[in-house]
Structure 1
Amino acid sequence: MTLTSTASSRTSPRRQGLLLALLCVAQFMVYLDISIVNVALPSIQESLGMAAGDLPYVVTAYGTVLGGFLLLGGRLADVFGRRRVLQIGLTVFAGTSLLAGLATDPAVLIAARGAQGLGAALVTPAALSILMDAFEPGPARNKALGIWGSLTGIASVCGVLFGGVLTDGVGWRWIFWVNVPIGLAAVALAPFVLPESREPARRRFDVAGAVVLTAGLLLLIHTLDQAVELGWDSPRTIGGLLLAGALLIGFVRIELRTHSPLLPMSIFARRTLRTANIVSIAVMGAVVTLFFFASLYMQQVLGWTPMRTGVAYVPLASSVAAAAGVASVLVTRFSPRVVLVSGLVVTATGLLMLSRLGLDAAYAAEVLPAFVIVGVGLGLTFVPVQIMALDDVDEQEFGVAAGLVSTSQEAGGALGLAVVSTIVLAHIDSIVEAGRETAVAAQLSGFQLAFVAAACWVLGALAVVLVDRVLSRR
């Protein structure tokens, strides 16, 4: 097969546009399914007779498997062909979406959600590595990454909105079935739109490393998801974290000894990629915290309906998209780090504005400005992070680098929400037990603390970028 540089040089601008559109549709479905089920959970519970304790697994099964298999998906794409792996992933995603919509038993639905996550884990790194392969470094690639970077925020918001519309309209099963025709159409179009690329020479696959890494990541993300409910001092939480740490350490030892590593340790010698992954962990911790607690704030404190809550996010998503487009231009005039620093500062400012909202905040005067500022900050952040994560990576390792940054985002989201939720719930409980405030006032205080904690995640990322900049000048 062709080398990535050859594929890039023969991809015409018109075909690049079709290629980008197809890849964005595929990735949009992946991100959409992270949030689309949230609004539908009460309907799913009533329809299937699910126990309240099993309901979170409808959400976490997808995210856990997605995060656990991303690095494996990236390496499979590099070794066996990126278009091929993308098509397999889309087929799995469409098939399991059909199964999820047909489910009449909670166990079947949860299993189908996990299998959806597996398909998504094949799609995401393959799609991003194809994008990097098709666009030459410079303005064209930066613009493509700008569009790609905006998908996270836009799809997350659209998931809440579409979930409400479909559930209230044709029923909750259609939040899954809508993926089927889109996914299958993308599979059929892929050979006509997407070039194939892989490593120049197929190497022996690192089976041992793949098994140990995937098990370690699955256990880590699952343990983080459960830490809020079980507590950080729970034997299951402590044991899960220790075992996950042991598996990941074992994976590093395997990679240092094998001749064909799943994740070459030399990739971490690239300072820019290393910084981008740390920033991804912190930023996605803040993003997941934002969506989780902002949704609770608007519904439990302001008393809004799920539909109104979803619509309230639309300006945030629009701001992400607009700012990502601006960022794709700015990174060609300034360094990605400069744009990233600006984005992190703006994001933290918007989150701190949210922490000042009260019991009767007006949407137009208070919530909307904060959402727009956060959206602009995230748009200015996502694009340079993607560029930094992939810009200095060898072409034959696009897939594994894409899988690495996506894994950092998934792990960061789970870690951020677990840590902040633990702090917030303890804070709310302490206020309620003291009897100093009403239940709603206690919730408000907790949600305000959550937005401050999210801002701290972003400021931590800012500190990492600034320290990296100082070190790079030495």
Structure 2
Amino acid sequence: MTRRQTMVLFLLLGAQFTLAVDFSIMNVAVPVIGRELHFSQENLQWIATTFALSAAGFSLLFGRIADLVGARKVFLAGLALLTVASLLGGLVDASGPLLAARVAQGLATAMVTPAGLALLTTSFPEGPLRDRALGLNGAMLSAGFTCGAILGGLLTDVLSWRWGFFINVPIGLLLIVVAPMLLAKGEVRRGGKLDIPGAVTVSAGLIALVYGISAAGEYGWADRTTLVSLAAAVVLLIAFGLIELRAPEPLAPLRVLGLRSVTWGNIGGAATFIGFTAMIFLITLYLQDVLGYSAMSTGLTFGVLGVGAFLGGVTAPRWIGALGGSSAVLVAGLLVQGVTVGALYFAGDARGWLYAVLGLAFLSSYAHVVAIVGFMVTATSGLPNEQQGLATGITTLTQQVSITIGIPIMSAIAVAQIRAAKDSSVEAATLHGINVAILANGLILVAVGLLVALFAKRRAAAAND
């Protein structure tokens, strides 16, 4: 790796880490924000949901725009938007402007994440160097989620929730100044036209999907709002598929989507993100509602998961070499993650279980990031540089949607089991619901891992499709 490549890698990893921190840093401060800005209880969820809606809804669009106009331009524009939105978010004094700032932060994430990943994959050729870069990217991604939760709690308690926004401003300015010096201007330009009908239908469909799933977590899967939103998502996404079949320059060429490396890589990626976010949610409930730990103590214990995530990212490229390919690493990560998550089914209500739970969660976090690296390498391999924006846009979409849907799905299973155990004590019913949901989580991960093993081709074979 040359000195310039090293500096580019540090720049791109810094941007991805900042975005990952952004995703979780405000979650801890939601109750405080609600009190200060007079949010109603039912509207608190929008502090997180508005970010998720815009981040997931527009990631594919901006990934494709990065292919057309250059990833460098989209990356810098996204950083500028993130910096301005963060500054305004920290200065607001009403709920509406705060939600607008969160929407803008989500849009910035939809711009910077696929563009940054496209710059990373085009800066390093396929092989060990790219695998190493994507491994470090996975480590920074998961470490950012963990650090965001811890940092959000500390900033809110010591200073103010507003610093969860302000902290992005100096980082954003630094990245905006340094990025033009390091990132090459000579990206591939196709000079084509943007598929407007495809962009409108896929963005609207993804927003409806994420909104419907978020509504399910708040109101239930049978709620009218949930059903209407999910039905609209299905109609819009089917329309998108039909448009892509006829478009002369489609937003997402079906030839690319039909590659096994892209299809099964993203299926595996979706499973690992769903499994990890659901595990975090269920362990949080377990530590607080069953074992009786405080919110601060619970947050600090997740530092163990951050260590596992970092080690997973650092060592994943070696596993690619040892196991003979990225798809094998994706499968292995999913299987280990599934087994370690499923083993949490046996956790009991005594505090002595804490050490076993944290040990299994550490291993699961390690396997999760190993699977992320396998997913990223598999889903972006075998494609030319001018399609890396699309490939990374798809992986970003997979990540954002999966993070959003994991909690509602497993929460529905846990709640159903808790209600079914109505003859038990509250603590016993809660433990039973958590155990069943976490077992289901583990079984899904193992099942997807086996499917990817059966149907996904190794990187070399995928490149020849």
2:370 maps to which of 373, 376, 380: 380
After superposition, residues 304-343 of structure 1 pair within 5 angstroms as 304-333=293-322, 334-343=324-333
Report the equivalent of 2:446. Answer: 459
Report the equivalent of 1:426. Answer: 416
Residues 102-123 of structure 1 deviation map (CA, whole Å, 9 limit, x = unaligned): 1211121112111110011000
Check conservation: 1:165, 1:307, Cα contact below 8 A: no
2:209 maps to which of 220, 232, 246: 220
Q: Which stretch shifts more, 400-409 or 249-258?
A: 249-258
2:146 maps to which of 157, 161, 167: 157
Post-superposition offset of 1:72: 0.7
Report the equivalent of 1:26. Answer: 15
2:245 maps to which of 236, 248, 256: 256
- Report the Cα distance in structure 2 between the residues aligned to 1:363 and 1:192, rounded to whole angstroms: 51
Residues 76-123 of structure 1 deviation map (CA, whole Å, 9 limit, x = unaligned): 111111111011101111111112211211121112111110011000
Structure 1: 5+ residue runs without aligned partners? 1-11
Q: Matched residue of 1:370: which SS? A: helix
Compared CA separation, residues 198 and 210, structure 1 to 2 (3 A): farther
Report the equivalent of 2:157. Answer: 168
- Report the Cα distance in structure 2 between the residues aligned to 1:361 and 1:386, rounded to whole angstroms: 38
2:26 maps to which of 37, 42, 55: 37
Post-superposition offset of 1:28: 1.1
Post-superposition offset of 1:344: 1.5
Post-superposition offset of 1:340: 2.1
Q: How many residues align?
A: 459
Q: Matched residue of 2:21: which SS? A: helix
2:184 maps to which of 191, 195, 205: 195
Residues 152-195 of structure 1 deviation map (CA, whole Å, 9 limit, x = unaligned): 32111111111111111111110111011101211111111112
Post-superposition offset of 1:262: 1.1
Post-superposition offset of 1:364: 6.0
Check conservation: 2:275, 2:441, Cα contact below 8 A: yes
- Report the Cα distance in structure 1 between the residues aligned to 2:242 and 2:354, rounded to whole angstroms: 54
After superposition, residues 66-81 of structure 1 pair within 5 angstroms as 66-81=55-70
1:347 maps to which of 337, 362, 367: 337
TM-score, normalization: structure 2? Answer: 0.95
Check conservation: 1:61, 1:117, Cα contact below 8 A: yes
Report the equivalent of 1:407. Answer: 397
Q: Which stretch shifts more, 314-323 or 77-86?
A: 314-323
Residues 1:447 and 2:434 are matched in the alignment? yes
- Report the Cα distance in structure 1 between the residues aligned to 2:204 and 2:141, rounded to whole angstroms: 26
Post-superposition offset of 1:346: 1.4
Post-superposition offset of 1:366: 1.5
- Report the Cα distance in structure 1 between the residues aligned to 2:128 and 2:304, rounded to whole angstroms: 27
Compared CA separation, residues 216 and 413, structure 1 to 2 (3 A): same
Post-superposition offset of 1:197: 4.7
Check conservation: 1:273, 1:392, Cα contact below 8 A: no
Q: Which stretch shifts more, 340-349 or 67-76?
A: 340-349
- Report the Cα distance in structure 2 between the residues aligned to 1:194 and 1:86, rounded to whole angstroms: 10
- Report the Cα distance in structure 2 between the residues aligned to 1:33 and 1:88, rounded to whole angstroms: 17
One-letter code aligned to 1:75: R
Report the equivalent of 1:437. Answer: 424
Q: Matched residue of 1:202: which SS? A: coil
TM-score, normalization: structure 1? Answer: 0.93
Residues 1:88 and 2:77 are matched in the alignment? yes
1:59 maps to which of 27, 44, 48: 48
2:269 maps to which of 276, 280, 303: 280
Compared CA separation, residues 119 and 197, structure 1 to 2 (3 A): farther
Residues 245-290 of structure 1 deviation map (CA, whole Å, 9 limit, x = unaligned): 1111111122221212111111122111110111112211111111
Check conservation: 1:39, 1:306, Cα contact below 8 A: no
Check conservation: 2:143, 2:310, Cα contact below 8 A: yes
Residues 1:289 and 2:278 are matched in the alignment? yes
